Each structure stands twice: as C-alpha cells, then as structure tokens.
Amino acid sequence: IGKSHVIDNVMINILSNGNLLFEDYPGLAKTLMTNTFADALGCDFKRVQFTPDLLPADITGTNIYDAKKGEFTFKPGPIFCNLLLSDEINRAPPKTQAALLEAMQEKQVTIGTVTHKLPAPFLTMATQNPVEQEGTYPLPEAQLDRFMFKMSVGYPDRADEDEILARRITRKKDAVDVDVITDPARVVAMQQACEDVYVDPAVRMYMVEIVSRTREDPRVLVGSSPRGSQALLKTSRAAAALRGRDFVTPDEVKAVAPIAISHRLILKPEHQIKGLETQEVVSDILRQVPVPTV
C-alpha cells in the first residue's frame, strides 16, 4: 500500500532475472511481498532465516549416505526453488553468505564434484538489517555486486498505515489471498522477451558514461564494475517492457540507475565520515551526464 514504485522495481528485477537486496528494518512486509509475488507468478517459494549458526549445507543441501544402497544421495536444500527469500542475510557469517554466490550468478550449486542446476527462473530476494545494528556481518563486495538492485521499502505514511489496518479488519486474517496469474515457464518467456527490447547506441553510451564516471569521481574509492553496466542494460530493458515499449529511453536508465549502481560503489573514508551516501554520488552523476536525444 502506497509503495507502487517498490512493486514496479521488484517486477523489473524479476524480468531482468536478477537478485534483489532489501536493506530495511523488520516489519515492513518484505517477506509478505516476496511470498505474494511467488504466489502470483506460480513459483515455488522458500525462505531461509539467516542466523550466526547457519551452515552452507543448510542452504544448498548435502550428500547423505544411504546404507541400503551403499552410496551417497543428494538431499537438496531450500535453495532449490524459483524464489528464495534470504531473510536477514547479514546475520550469518561470511562463509555461509558465500554459499549463495554461485547460485546467484551461475544459477547452479556445486556439491563436492557434482553441479546441480537450479530451476528456472531462480532468483534471490534478500533482506538485511542496517549495518549499524548489532550482530551483523557486512556483505562482501563480491556478493553485494551480484545483486541487481539494492533498495529500501521505507515506512508508510499515516494514511497508508491506516489503510493497512482497514484492510486487515476487512480481511479478518493475516494471510493475503492472491490469484495465480502465470507460471514459471511464462516468467522465463517474459525474461527472454526483454532481451529483444531495442537499445539505441546513444542510450548505450549514456549507460557507459554513467558507470565510467563512478570510477572517476574523486569521492569514490572503488567505482562500479562492468557488472554495473550490465545491470543498467538489463533493468532498463525490463523497465521499458513494463511500460509497454520495445525500446529504451534515457528515462528508464535514470529511473533504475540509483538502485542498480549505488551499492557497487565504495566511498573514500573521509567522505564516509562526513556522512556522504553513494546514492548522492549517483544522483550527482545523473545530473552531470548529458542526456542523449533519441
């Protein structure tokens, strides 16, 4: 309620076949939203609560010895689904966080010497607590870079919160009934259709210029990698498709850039101390880069 832009961005992320990271406080309906999307898309949904004692095998699965057969058999973990909610991912130690890396990028899991393909589509929606909270482990840059978007839901305003309560009274239960509108095969087809969205060379260079300037900005210690450019390309195409167009305009690029690039930057310590945010740097770059006419 009152967060239509968040819903749009989640859908853009799904169409881009990417992974999504929410950084927010508890109780803002991130789990409900993820579950609702999975239900509406007809996808298999699993949730893993990350804790300090969670092991990699608790996520990916493990080989179990079958005494009757005299051999090891693979028992899949919860990661074998279409949509995985990794709740409070920064509560788990780095070794456990790293268990997601291969799955997020390659859509597969390797146990021992055997590689197991994940179902299509597969994507992770992860939540993390703000890093200043106790008991958190900051995500490594390599893993953070594998998230297509990093975004925040934010608190509702008074009117929206009142509407939340009104709907709960009408519904008379916590669960929300959702109609299934598609299936995993069609989701994959929609993802493939986004690959046909046209990107003008001028718009493509606009993306390159934005990402390149993150590496040249004097306030930035580490700029975006080419994975950031890829994220801009994929999500801009998905945003255009969601708006019913078969071509990308600079408006789509500007809309997705702050949540597609900001988390890939590392600021210099002196600017971190001053309280500068990476989103501010990306916003400055968007104001400075000439917008192409297409």
**Model pLDDT for residues 155-174, shown as the tens digit of each residue:** 888 998 898 899 889 888 87
93-101 average pLDDT score: 83
Phi and psi at 257, nearest 5°, equal -55, -45
Residues spanned by CATH 1.10.8.80 within the chain?
A: 195-288
141-154 average pLDDT score: 87
pLDDT score recorded for residue 21 = 93
Q: Is residue 131 predicted with pLDDT exceeding 70?
A: no
Fold adopted by 4-171 = Rossmann fold (3.40.50)
45-67 average pLDDT score: 88
pLDDT-above-90 percentage for the chain: 51
pLDDT score recorded for residue 134 = 60
pTM of the model: 0.89
More confident residue, 175 or 223: 223
Q: What angle do CA 136, 141, 143 make, to 5 degrees?
A: 80
Lowest mean pLDDT among 171-175, 178-182, 215-219, 238-242: 171-175
Look over the chain and give the mean of its residue pLDDT values, rounded to a whole number.
Answer: 89
More confident residue, 130 or 151: 151
Q: Is residue 133 predicted with pLDDT exceeding 70?
A: no
Residues spanned by CATH 3.40.50.300 within the chain?
A: 4-171
Residue 130 CA to its chain's centroid (Å): 16
pLDDT score recorded for residue 84 = 92
58-86 average pLDDT score: 87
Q: How confident is the model at residue 129 (pLDDT cuts 50, 70, 90)?
A: confident
122 Cβ partners below 8 Å, 6+ apart? 81, 82, 83, 84, 103, 107
Is 195-288 assigned to CATH 1.10.760.10?
no
Q: Is residue 132 predicted with pLDDT exceeding 60?
A: no
46-63 average pLDDT score: 89
Distance from C-alpha of 236 to C-alpha of 186, rounded to nearest angstrom: 20
Residue 84 β-bridge partners: 46, 124
285 Cβ partners below 8 Å, 6+ apart? 210, 213, 214, 217
